[in-house]
Chains A and B, each alone.
Chain A
Amino acid sequence: MSEDEYAIIIENLVKKYDDLIAVNSISLKIRKGEIFAFLGPNGAGKTTTVEILEGIRKKTSGNALVLGHDISKKRELEAIKKRIGTLPQEFSTYDNLSVIENLRFWSRMYGNTIPIEELISLVKLEDKVKDRYKNLSGGLKRRLGIAIALVNDPELVFLDEPTTGLDPRARRDSWAIIEGLKDQGKTIFLTTHYMEEAAVLADTVAIIHKGEIMDVGSPTQLIDKYGGDNKIIVRCNSQEIRDNIHSALFEMGPLENEDGDIVISGKKGKISEVIDILEKKNIPYTDIITQRPTLEDVFLSLTGEALITEVQKEVAS
Chain B
Amino acid sequence: MSEETFFVKVVASLRRIWGTIAATALDWVKSPAAVFFTFIYPIVMILLFGYIFGASSGDGTMYNLYYLNEDVYIVDDTAYSYNPASLLIEQLQDESTINLIETNLNTTAIAPDVWMKSEDVPYMFVIPKGWSQGVNDSKIDPNNPRVNIDYYYDPGYTSAQEVAAIIDTVLVEMNAEEFGIPTSVMIDVQATPERQGLSYIDFYVPGMIMVTLSTSGMMGMVSIVTEGRNSGLIFKISSSPIKKWEWALGQEIWQVVIAFAISFLTILTGCLAFGFNLGTLHPLMIVVLIFGTMTFAGLALIIARFVKRPEAAMAATMSFVFPQMFLSGTIMPLEIMPDFMRVIAQFFPLYYISQASSALQLEATFNDAWFYIGVVAAMGIVFFIVGTILSVWRKE
- Report chain B residues within 8 Å CB of A55: 239, 394
User: Please, what's the 1-or-0 string for B2-41, where 1 marks a CB less than 8 Å from any CB in chain A?
Assistant: 0000000000100110110011101110110000000000
Q: Could you tell me if A110 and B22 are in contact, using CB atoms closer than 8 angstroms?
A: no
Q: Could you tell me if A109 and B242 are in contact, using CB atoms closer than 8 angstroms?
A: yes
Tell me the nearest residue of chain A to B393, going by C-beta. A56
Q: Report the Cα distance A12→B28, complex, angstroms.
A: 45
Interface positions, chain A 55-92, Cβ under 8 Å from B, are 55-58, 78-79, 81-82, 84, 86, 88, 90-92
- Report chain B residues within 8 Å CB of A96: 26-28, 30-31
Q: Classify chain A: how many residues form its interface, as a range.
A: 20 to 34
Q: Report the Cα distance A165→B6, complex, angstroms.
A: 45
**Candidate in B15, B235, B237 with the most chain A CB atoms within 10 angstroms:** B235
Q: Could you tell me if B233 and A81 are in contact, using CB atoms closer than 8 angstroms?
A: no
- Report chain A residues within 8 Å CB of B19: 105, 107-109
Interface positions, chain A 244-259, Cβ under 8 Å from B, are none
- Report chain A residues within 8 Å CB of B81: none
Tell me the nearest residue of chain A to B28, going by C-beta. A96
Q: Could you tell me if B232 and A51 are in contact, using CB atoms closer than 8 angstroms?
A: no
Q: Could you tell me if A86 and B394 are in contact, using CB atoms closer than 8 angstroms?
A: no
Q: B110 contacts the other chain (Cβ, under 8 Å)?
A: no
Q: Report the Cα distance A88→B16, complex, angstroms.
A: 21
Interface positions, chain A 161-186, Cβ under 8 Å from B, are none
Q: Report the Cα distance A143→B129, complex, angstroms.
A: 80
Say how far A238's CB is from chain B's closest CB, in angstroms: 53
* Total B residues in contact with A, Cβ cutoff 8 Å: 28
Instruction: Contacts A56-B235, A88-B235, A92-B232 given; indicate if A109 touches B240 (C-beta within 8 A).
Output: yes
Q: Report the Cα distance A79→B241, complex, angstroms.
A: 8
- Report chain B residues within 8 Å CB of A94: 23-24, 26-27, 233
Q: Could you tell me if B394 and A57 are in contact, using CB atoms closer than 8 angstroms?
A: yes
Q: Could you tell me if A108 and B236 are in contact, using CB atoms closer than 8 angstroms?
A: no
Q: B238 contacts the other chain (Cβ, under 8 Å)?
A: yes
Say how far A197's CB is from chain B's closest CB, in angstroms: 21
Q: Report the Cα distance A91→B237, complex, angstroms.
A: 10
Tell me the nearest residue of chain B to A145, going by C-beta. B236
Q: Could you tell me if B1 and A88 are in contact, using CB atoms closer than 8 angstroms?
A: no
Q: Could you tell me if A88 and B232 are in contact, using CB atoms closer than 8 angstroms?
A: yes
Q: Report the Cα distance A108→B235, complex, angstroms.
A: 17
Instruction: Contacts A56-B238, A109-B240, A110-B241 given; indicate if A95 touches B27 (C-beta within 8 A).
Output: yes
Interface positions, chain B 296-346, Cβ under 8 Å from A, are none
- Report chain A residues within 8 Å CB of B231: 90, 92, 95
Instruction: Contacts A94-B23, A96-B31, A111-B12 given; indicate if A54 touches B232 (C-beta within 8 A).
Output: no
A-B contact pairs, 22 of them (CB 8 A): A56-B238, A56-B394, A78-B241, A81-B239, A86-B236, A88-B236, A88-B239, A90-B235, A91-B232, A92-B232, A93-B236, A96-B26, A96-B27, A96-B28, A96-B31, A97-B27, A102-B23, A105-B22, A108-B22, A109-B237, A109-B241, A109-B242
Interface positions of A (Cβ within 8 A of B): 51, 54-58, 78-79, 81-82, 84, 86, 88, 90-97, 101-102, 105-111, 132, 148
